[in-house]
Amino acid sequence: MITAFDIGGTSIKFGIVDQEGKILFKSSFPSDIHIGGERIIRKIIQQIGLLEKDWQIEGVAVSTAGQIDSHEGMVVHATDNIPNYTGLEIKSMIERETGLPAEVENDVNCTALGEYWKGAARDSNDFLCLTLGTGIGGALFLNGSLYTGDTFGAGEIGHMSLYPGGRPCTCGNSGCYEQYASTSALQRSVDELFKEETDLRHFFEKVRESDIGSLEVFHKWVEDLATGLQSTVHVLNPSLIVVGGGISEQGDLLIQQIIKSVEPKIMPNHRRRLEIVAAEHGNDANLIGAAKHFFDSKHIRK
């Protein structure tokens, strides 16, 4: 068994995962991302030491934001959301301090791996995994394998240009997809509608009640989401799109509206066998996917 960590903006989730992908134990602690990349990894190393008192751990798997060189286990590029993260050699740092083998992979890639191994993408060889949150993350599974690109940057669909010259983005460009179709973009529109900070659960209750203002905001957001998917589907021609992130918990309300908005936008051949589904494992998919990446890298029987 191994220990897996998922580094998020608010918390670091972790657990013990066996070779069958079963999470035997899980918990979390605050990520405190303002302290910077190296100190975050030191917090993880400290937690590994505590886990070893109760579990026989064979290795460490890490899921994290950023463009990750999954061979070397280092951060190729990351935004300033986590200070001093770019260039950090996570794998070697953990291995040196713990004596355990470690592997590191991008968080959305881990979502895709987890859903492919044990979730909504079982046995699907060509699919797109889309996570909606503060930004929009993407991961590509092509011909039965995770596709990471030449420099480990594939899947950055959140930074497609949706409205050129539009809202400024953290990547340095403007009008990016995630500035209009992420959960945070929806939150901004919802707060403007209600003229105060409003929990999205309340907003979706109003949508289900057919509140006119809420429906208008919801449909506009889904239309932007669908327009981005239109380009992605035409380029990749996937058989499946798996939608993850906390908002996927809205289930059929969200998925059916996405399907309704996407289908008229794409060519007949591209929609002939396309399915759009919600992720099955939520945040657990990242822990499961990180474990799968470790087992695959170490050639341990799954």
Enter the pTM of the model: 0.90
Q: Give the model's pLDDT for residue 301.
A: 42
The residues near 16 (Cβ < 8 Å, ≥ 6 apart) are 1, 2, 3, 4, 23, 24, 25, 26, 51, 55, 57
Q: Give the model's pLDDT for residue 44.
A: 97
2-110+290-298: CATH topology is Nucleotidyltransferase; domain 5 (3.30.420)
Q: Judge contact between 45 and 7, C-beta under 8 A.
A: no
Q: Where in the chain is the domain with CATH 3.30.420.40?
A: 2-110+290-298, 124-278
Q: Which of 188, 185, 176 is nearest to 231 (CA)?
A: 176
Distance CA(216)–CA(265), nearest Å, equals: 19
Q: Which CATH architecture has domain 124-278?
A: 2-Layer Sandwich (3.30)
Q: Could you state, in chain order, the average pLDDT of each consecutive group of 10 residues for the chain (302 residues)?
A: 91 95 94 92 96 95 95 91 93 96 96 95 92 92 92 92 94 94 95 94 95 96 97 94 89 94 95 92 91 82 42
Identify the helix (H) or strand (E) that includes residue 4. strand 2-7
The residues near 7 (Cβ < 8 Å, ≥ 6 apart) are 31, 40, 44, 62, 63, 64, 65, 82, 107
Q: Judge contact between 232 and 140, C-beta under 8 A.
A: no
